[in-house]
């Protein structure tokens, strides 16, 4: 049983007092009464615990994020959102929940002073939690919208008349200040009963994430280096024994790589990773889930460290052989065992065979759109009949992010140097990938320049974090390549489907050959894809907020 029940119970408790409302969440009539609350340190603790619902991992929008990039499409075609199709509609945008959460942070910082006899260091730790979350929310807001209203205290109705958008550059400084306060006041580690609460290392990692997005290289490098030098974390399966897939299994949810997790509890506060993010292969049926694109599959190097476009051992007719082992973990493909059911192993058949049930392309509207399924969260120890009731935590920040952040920032500041190489190679080594180097040009891992290493680090971000939410979406934006990759055609697998007398009974007289490159009946799956214009770097200001406040000006292009 998970120990941190306070996070769960307080979320239920506080939720009964608060709700989302209109612009900047103006709900003073629903606030907790000063006469009945804010009496003891436990009141503040419970209120702070409620803030943790802000963390990603609690819904399909977090887990499905890769469909907003070139990594994946939604297998359930009707469920794909507008952004994944390249439609950025002001009617779809919203920030009421974000400002409701900011109000909670500001309320806690203000009201905690009402609690008598509160030991100072304990009080400062709770304030640090509130400031961590306030910084996190504003970080996400300015990434999405650019200039937004900045509020650092609970507002009265009379304050709403003067709300305008503040420059994102100024807000970024407050984000860093909030993280710095959290770093100075939070503990390095939490007691087991407080697992899931933020630490100074989580605040440092989030600070590094914010700085990386805005190319504040020195701050990103310094914050990530502090975590590296602490020696408090190490990569799961650091020795590279081939257990990487178990990093995403429930039995290892609290491992040495996890810097911050969102806690879930089976039966009480469950998550739904298998249902949203993957494909529960139940008795040959299909739930489309999130389907990797061919572009993502092709981004994994061969096991000698060469991109497949330059590989001498890559075989397109047998594309999963001799590849980076993370490819097998991330992408569930034709002929693999999806789940082991009571009736035995359930093999996925993604070529369009009638005998494959509904799991193949062209077989069922909710089957894979690309010929691939997401395999990253398939935990063989989870009862597939209870995939809507998992207790698996969501890893918000893991140590691999810190290493890649440091590698990227160091390379951008200092060029091709040993520190950047060492950091990225730690991530590669734990999956037994050859290290990148700058000395032997005869090897496929050779990096001759800063840009060579830049492109390798960018690809490392992609293959390490595929199917883990919105990371690729934000990466292609901050790198300035979203227009290129989102306006190119999206493809799935190739295959041949042709009639032949030797076809097996039940296959409708057809033979299907996955990964075929030509010949009679050759198909290359072309997908709807997406689109992107340069003004889409910023999301449109929510139309509902503009309707409520004519001082809010829409972003250019909308």
Residue 177 has pLDDT above 70, yes or no: yes
> Does 442 reside within a domain?
yes
Report the C-alpha gap between 320 and 368 in whole angstroms.
Answer: 18
pTM, 2 dp: 0.92
Give the tens place of pLDDT for each residue, 49-94: 999 999 998 665 677 899 999 999 988 878 888 999 999 999 999 9
SS3 262: strand
Given this model, what pLDDT does residue 13 score? Answer: 40
Comparing 176-190, 215-229, 345-359, the range with the smallest average pLDDT is: 345-359
Q: 485 lies in which domain range? A: 1-57+84-242+397-489
Give pLDDT, residue 350.
76
pLDDT classification of 275: cutoffs 50, 70, 90:
low
203: left (phi > 0), else alpha (psi -120 to 50), else beta? alpha
51-60, 122-131, 174-183, 533-542 — which is least confidently predicted?
Answer: 51-60
CB contact at 8 A, 83 and 69: no
pLDDT in tens, 417-434: 999 999 999 999 999 999
Give one DSSP letter per residue of 332-348, joined into a string.
E-TT-EEEEETTEEEE-
- pLDDT value for 11: 43
- For 127, the token pair is 């304030």
Distance in angstroms (rounded) separating the CA atoms of residues 389 and 413? 46
Query: Average pLDDT in the 111-140 region?
Result: 97
- Measured CA angle at 79 (ends 78, 84), to 5 deg: 100
Confidence band for 378, pLDDT divided at 50, 70 and 90 = confident
Mean pLDDT of 426-445: 98
Helix axes 5-15, 41-50, angle to 10 degrees: 90
CA distance to 31, 161, 259, 396, per residue, from 103 (Å):
10, 17, 26, 23
pLDDT computed for residue 219 by the predictor = 98
- Is 247 part of any domain? no
Residue 2 has pLDDT above 70, yes or no: no
Give tens-digit pLDDT for 238-273: 999 999 999 999 999 999 999 999 999 988 888 877
Q: Is residue 498 part of a domain?
A: no
Flag whether 309 is in a domain.
no
pLDDT confidence bin for 5, thresholds 50/70/90: very low
Decide if 554 is inside a domain.
no
Closest to 343 (Cα-Cα) out of 281, 263, 277, 298 = 281
The answer to the question of residue 199 being in a domain is yes
Q: Is the pLDDT of residue 27 over 50?
A: no
Residue 467 near residue 330 (C-beta atoms within 8 A): yes
Distance between CA atoms of residues 386 and 397, nearest Å: 26
Q: Which of 51-65, 158-172, 175-189 has the highest mean pLDDT?
A: 175-189
Give the dihedral of Cα atoms 142, 145, 147, 150; nearest 10 deg.
Answer: -60
pLDDT exceeds 80 at position 311: yes
Average pLDDT over residues 526-533: 94
Torsion sign across C-alpha atoms 385, 386, 392, 396: positive
Confirm whether 188 is domain-assigned. yes
**Beta strand segments in 47-183, E:** 72-74
Per the prediction, the chain carries an average pLDDT of 88
Q: Please report, for the domain that includes residue 15, its CATH number.
A: 1.25.40.390
Domain count for the chain, please give it: 1
Strand order in the sheet with 510-514: 510-514, 490-499, 522-527
Question: Would you say residue 19 lies in a domain?
Answer: yes
């Amino acid at each position: 049983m998970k120990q941190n029940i306070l996070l769960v119970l307080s979320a239920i408790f506080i939720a009964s007092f608060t709700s989302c409302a209109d612009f900047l969440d103006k709900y003073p009539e629903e606030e907790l009464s000063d006469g009945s609350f804010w009496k003891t340190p436990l009141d503040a603790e419970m209120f702070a615990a409620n803030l943790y619902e802000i963390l990603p991992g609690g819904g399909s929008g977090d887990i499905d994020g890769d469909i907003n990039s070139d990594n994946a499409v939604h297998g359930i075609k009707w469920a794909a959102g507008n952004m994944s199709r390249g439609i950025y509609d002001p009617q779809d945008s919203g920030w009421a929940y974000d400002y409701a959460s900011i109000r909670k942070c500001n309320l806690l910082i203000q009201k905690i002073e009402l609690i008598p006899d509160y030991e100072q260091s304990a009080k400062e730790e709770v304030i640090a939690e509130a400031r961590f979350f306030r910084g996190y929310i504003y970080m996400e807001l300015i990434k999405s919208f650019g200039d937004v209203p900045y509020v650092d205290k609970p507002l009265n109705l009379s304050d709403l008349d003067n709300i305008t958008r503040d420059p994102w550059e100024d807000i970024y400084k407050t984000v860093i200040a909030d993280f710095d306060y959290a770093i100075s006041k939070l503990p390095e580690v939490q007691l087991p009963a407080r697992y899931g609460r933020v630490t100074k290392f989580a605040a440092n990692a989030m600070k590094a994430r914010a700085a990386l997005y805005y190319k504040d290289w020195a701050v990103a490098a310094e914050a990530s280096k502090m975590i590296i030098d602490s020696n408090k974390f190490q990569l799961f399966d650091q020795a590279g024994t081939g257990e990487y897939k178990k990093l995403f299994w429930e039995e290892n949810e609290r491992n040495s790589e996890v810097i911050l997790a969102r806690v879930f509890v089976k039966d009480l506060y469950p998550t739904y990773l298998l249902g949203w993010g993957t494909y529960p292969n139940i008795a040959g049926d299909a739930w489309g889930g999130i389907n990797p694109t061919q572009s993502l599959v092709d981004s994994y190097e061969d096991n000698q460290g060469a991109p497949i476009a330059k590989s001498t051992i890559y075989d397109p007719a047998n594309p999963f052989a001799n590849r980076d082992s993370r490819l097998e973990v991330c992408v569930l493909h034709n002929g693999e065992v999806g789940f082991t059911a009571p009736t035995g192993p359930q093999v996925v058949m993604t070529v369009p065979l009638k005998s494959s049930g509904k799991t193949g392309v062209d077989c069922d509207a909710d089957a894979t759109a690309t010929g691939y399924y997401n395999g990253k969260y398939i935990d063989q120890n989870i009862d597939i009949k209870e995939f809507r009731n998992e207790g698996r935590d969501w890893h918000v920040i893991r140590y691999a992010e810190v290493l890649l952040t440091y590698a990227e920032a160091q390379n951008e500041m200092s060029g091709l140097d040993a520190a950047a190489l060492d950091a990225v190679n730690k991530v590669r080594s734990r999956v037994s990938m050859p290290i990148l180097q700058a000395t032997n040009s005869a090897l496929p891992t050779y990096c001759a320049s800063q840009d060579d290493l830049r492109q390798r680090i960018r690809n490392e971000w992609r293959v390490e974090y595929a199917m883990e939410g919105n990371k690729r979406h934000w990466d292609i934006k901050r790198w300035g390549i979203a227009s290129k990759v989102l306006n190119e055609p999206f493809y799935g697998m190739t295959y041949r489907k042709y009639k032949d007398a030797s076809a097996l009974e039940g296959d409708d007289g057809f033979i299907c050959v996955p990964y075929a490159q030509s010949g009679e009946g050759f198909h290359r799956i072309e997908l709807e894809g997406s689109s992107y214009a340069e003004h889409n770097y910023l999301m449109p200001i929510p139309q509902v907020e503009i309707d409520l406040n004519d001082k809010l000006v829409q972003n250019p292009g909308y």
